[in-house]
Amino acid sequence: MHMTAKDIRKSYAVGDVKTDVLRGVSLAVGRGESLALMGESGSGKSTLLHLIAGLDVPDQGVIEVDGQRMSAPSDTARAHLRRQLVGMVFQQFNLIPSLNVRANIAFQAQLSGRYDPNWCTDLAQRMGLSEHLSKYPEALSGGQQQRVAIARALAAKPSLILADEPTGNLDEDTAQSVLNLLLEILRETSTSLLMVTHSAKQAGALDRQLHLRGGIIAP
């Protein structure tokens, strides 16, 4: 399996109150497979995504991507693995406003030392961004900005894309178009996808769907 999470547990304390967010979550995503993670707000979906990305560590359990342990205790080790193995796409685009489209797409790949100008040019073309490379994010529509964000995530040739409601700020037609583009490129590159979504239609376009309920995977 490309990505595995085994018996992941995570709780947070606010004052004297401890909240168990994840209560023993196990899941796996195969190479080139797309998995939709669904569930009510507060069910732990974003927390799980952050743990898989190595942005935080679980209280218990092991997370591996390509055999590399993303749940390592060292911040530095997790950051290095994240740059090498994981691409992230968020609902809020998170583009760098002072960089043009070309530089935004290349940014993550350059950080990880995996910059390939030909691949970046190909991604821009596939995403319909070739005519916008010298523009800045503020001059783009929401759909265009999200396509830049997806191209940026793919530019470093990650093993796994983690997407948190990536089309949540887009209208339905634009959302479907953006998702179709992403899935097409993922299939060609054998890149895996774990996507948090509230949309049953979007989830249905992926290979599998899982529901998180009360901090566990629903049967």
Q: What is the pLDDT of residues 12-53, one digit of tens each?
A: 998 889 999 999 999 999 999 999 999 998 899 999 999 999
**What would the two tokens of residue 104 be?**
């935004």
pLDDT at 1 over 80: no
State the SS3 of 60-117.
EEEEEECCEECCCCCHHHHHHHHHHHEEEEECCCCCCCCCCHHHHHHHHHHHCCCCCH
**Looking at residue 32, what is its pLDDT?**
95
CA 76 to the chain's CA centroid = 20
Query: pLDDT-derived band of residue 170, with 50, 70 and 90 as boundaries?
Result: confident
Give the mean pLDDT of the chain. 94
**Looking at residue 177, what is its pLDDT?**
92
Domain 3-217 has CATH 3.40.50.300: yes
**Looking at residue 14, what is its pLDDT?**
86
Burial class (CB in 10 A: 0-12, 13-18, 19+), 212: buried
**Looking at residue 71, what is its pLDDT?**
87
CA dist., res. 89 & res. 125, Å (int)? 19
**Looking at residue 41, what is its pLDDT?**
86
**Looking at residue 55, what is its pLDDT?**
94
Instruction: Kindly state the average pLDDT of the residues 100-116.
Output: 96
pTM over 0.85: yes
Q: What is the pLDDT of residues 66-86, one digit of tens each?
A: 999 998 889 999 999 999 999
- The backbone region for 28, taken as left when phi is positive above 0, alpha when psi lies in -120 to 50, beta otherwise, is beta
pLDDT at 169 over 90: no
Query: pLDDT-derived band of residue 219, with 50, 70 and 90 as boundaries?
Result: confident
Sign of the four-CA dihedral 90, 96, 97, 102: negative
CA dist., res. 207 & res. 22, Å (int)? 24
pLDDT at 88 over 80: yes
**Looking at residue 103, what is its pLDDT?**
98
Domain boundaries, the chain: 3-217
